Amino acid sequence: MKQSTRTAKAGKQAVTSEVDFPLRKPVNTLAIVPKSEKITVTARKIYNVMLHYAQRQGVGKDRYQVRLADIATGIDFNSNNTELIKQYFRQMATTGVEWQSPTIGEGARWSVSALIAHADLIQRDGELILEWSYAPNIKQELLDPQRFAKMSLQVQASLNTMASLVLYEICCRYADNPGGLTARQPWAWWRPVLTGAPDSPTSAYQEYKIFNRDVLKKAIKKVNEVSDLEIELVEHRQGRSIQDLQFRVRRKAPLLPPAEKSIEPVDLKTIGEAIKAGIPQERAEKHLLKYGAKAMDEALRLMNERKNRPNMEPVRSPEKYLATLLQSGQFGERKETDATPRKVFDTKAERLKLIERYMTMKRAELNEMFQEMPEQDQQNWIRKFEAEALPASEVVRKAFQTKGIASPIVRPVFLKFLGNSVWEEGWEKPSDSDLVDIAILTKEESQQGREQAAVKKRGLVTGLRKGQTESA
């Protein structure tokens, strides 16, 4: 097969396929810790593509150039629609990070700087060229690393959360080690590294149970699904508490030889369409991560059709309208069995009962989460609730002053506030699939109850017969 090539017009040099030149991610860049703002998963993907091009152009350059269309696709960059991509470059140039290896003592040194030193967009020959540079203290290590992890940008494109992307990058470093184990670190060390957000004492992820459920398990599942790695969490306890974490890594047996592919730009089409429709960029990214590009594209198309109908009321809040469409579960990939959904509730009353049970289960989960927090964190949440979400109702405020969140009137309001703070938007709106699961659970519990009652009844009958026989 003939080797594929691509010519970067900005640098006027041919680039060989990724098979011959994989991304070499320096170990010091695998576990970067943001010190000010959160780094989004899209920004990290774009950063990896830029790093790949810079490594090919060589460490001897002071500035690196490539066509913007080779970095990101899905947007007409010849128009004025460059604000979206500029946001990511601003994030890279202004977000301070600490550079560190996941293995203690492995990196040559500790460094702090922004992801890039500068970025320019230059109009040349009818197209936009991206120019950027790196801070002097990290440039050599970034572009000519002595210790690095090889990774696939094609796999990166399939990872849709920050945690799964970072976990994949880190585990690539250890996949070929004889022991197959990542470095062992305190579990709190992994928190900002995997979330891409500065550590905060008010974060729900201060509790390991929540961090494990909402970050670790989901990231491991995603990496195992789309990459050539098989990852397993290893927990180290001290008494009953989890103290340290590491991951066991192995490579899966390849089913096919790797395809020869050139560097693929990050697709920004869906986010760009959402912004054009009036959705804030941050919300558009969250929806994309949660529901996927296919669901977003379909929902946006339906919303735009609705907007263009002259005989209908205007869409006053595109963000809420889109969220409602996505929460309906009718867009994106659906299993064949979902084509004819199981109908387990026949009346509106039955549906309301299932929704109430769903909310009861969610409130119980939130209450358990709150009870497991340290007392100081509990007080912080209560103060935040009083300052931001306590209703103006005199009855509710009086109940709060006398009994606090233990009041039956206040408790549900507080738990809803907690849910809105730690869970994603729409958590209190069950999908039809959620209701089906609860209906099935209810039926199973009812069946178990009947079986237990039957067993108890048989026991009573057997006891009576035995008593009658003995008396005879």
What is the pLDDT at residue 123? 87
pLDDT digits (tens, 9 = 90+) for 403-420: 999 998 999 899 988 888
Nearest CA to 100 among 108, 88, 92?
108
At residue 5, the pLDDT reads 39
| Residue 233 confidence (pLDDT) above 90 | yes
- Which pLDDT score, from 0 to 100, does residue 12 have? 38
As a three-state string, the secondary structure of the chain is CCCCCEEECCCCEEECCCCCCCEEEEHHHCCCEECCCCCCHHHHHHHHHHHHHHHHHCCCCCCEEEEHHHHEECCCCCCCCCHHHHHHHHHHHHCEEEECCCCCCCCCCCEEEECCCEEEEEEECCEEEEEEECCHHHHHHHHCCCCEEEECHHHHHHCCCHHHHHHHHHHHHHCCCCCCECCCEEHHHHHHHHHCCCCCCCCHHHCHHHHHHHHHHHHHHHHHHHCCEEEEEEEEEECCEEEEEEEEEEECCCCCCCCCCCCCCEECHHHHHHHHCCCCHHHHHHHHHHHCHHHHHHHHHHHHHHHCCCCCCCCCCHHHHHHHHHHCCCCCCCCHHHHCCCCCCCCHHHHHHHHHHHHHHHHHHHHHHHHCCCHHHHHHHHHHHHHHCCCCCHHHHHHHHHHHHHCCCHHHHHHHHHHHHHCCCCCCCCCHHHHHHHHHHHHHHHHHHHHHHHHHHHHHHHHHHHHHHHHC
Q: Span 284-304, mean pLDDT?
A: 82
Whole-number Å distance between alpha carbons of 23 and 160: 19
38-72 pLDDT per residue, tens: 667 788 888 888 888 888 888 888 899 988 888 87
Give the highest mean pLDDT range of 50-64, 79-93, 433-447: 50-64
How large is the average pLDDT for residues 256-280? 69
Band (439; pLDDT cuts 50, 70, 90):
confident
pLDDT tens, residue by residue, 94-149: 877 665 555 555 445 566 677 888 999 888 888 888 999 988 877 777 776 655 55
How confident is the prediction for the chain on average, in pLDDT?
A: 75
pLDDT band at 254 (very low <50, low <70, confident <90, very high): low
Q: What is the pLDDT of residues 307-352, one digit of tens each?
A: 777 766 677 788 888 887 887 777 776 444 444 444 444 566 777 7
> Looking at the predicted structure, is the pLDDT value of residue 370 above 60?
yes
On the question of pLDDT at 36 being above 90, the answer is no
Is the pLDDT higher at 448 or at 189?
A: 189
The pLDDT assigned to 106 comes to 47
Averaged pLDDT for residues 257-261: 47
148-157, 159-168, 203-212, 373-382: lowest mean pLDDT where?
148-157
| Residue 189 Rama label (left phi>0; alpha psi -120 to 50; beta) | alpha
What's residue 131's pLDDT? 93
Q: Would the pLDDT of 235 be above 90?
A: yes
Indicate whether 256 pLDDT > 60.
no
Sheet-wide strand order for 111-114: 33-34, 96-99, 111-114
List domains and CATH numbers for the chain. Answer: 1-150 (1.10.10), 152-254 (1.10.10.10), 275-310+319-328 (no CATH), 348-422 (no CATH)
Read off the pLDDT of each residue in 222-245 and give the average, rounded to a whole number.
Answer: 90
Q: What integer pLDDT is reported at residue 57 of this predicted model?
A: 87
Pick 162 or 242 by higher pLDDT. 242
What is residue 448's predicted lDDT score, i.e. its pLDDT?
A: 65
Q: What is the mean pLDDT of residues 354-365?
A: 85
Residue 220 tokens read as 């491991």
| Percent over 90 (pLDDT), the chain | 9
Q: Residue 110: what are its φ and ψ, rounded to 5°?
A: -95, 140
pLDDT band at 234 (very low <50, low <70, confident <90, very high): very high
Q: Which two tokens stand for residue 380?
A: 């912080």
pTM of this prediction?
0.52
pLDDT at position 17, please? 38
Residue with tokens 């709106």: 429
Percent of residues, the chain, with pLDDT higher than 70: 68
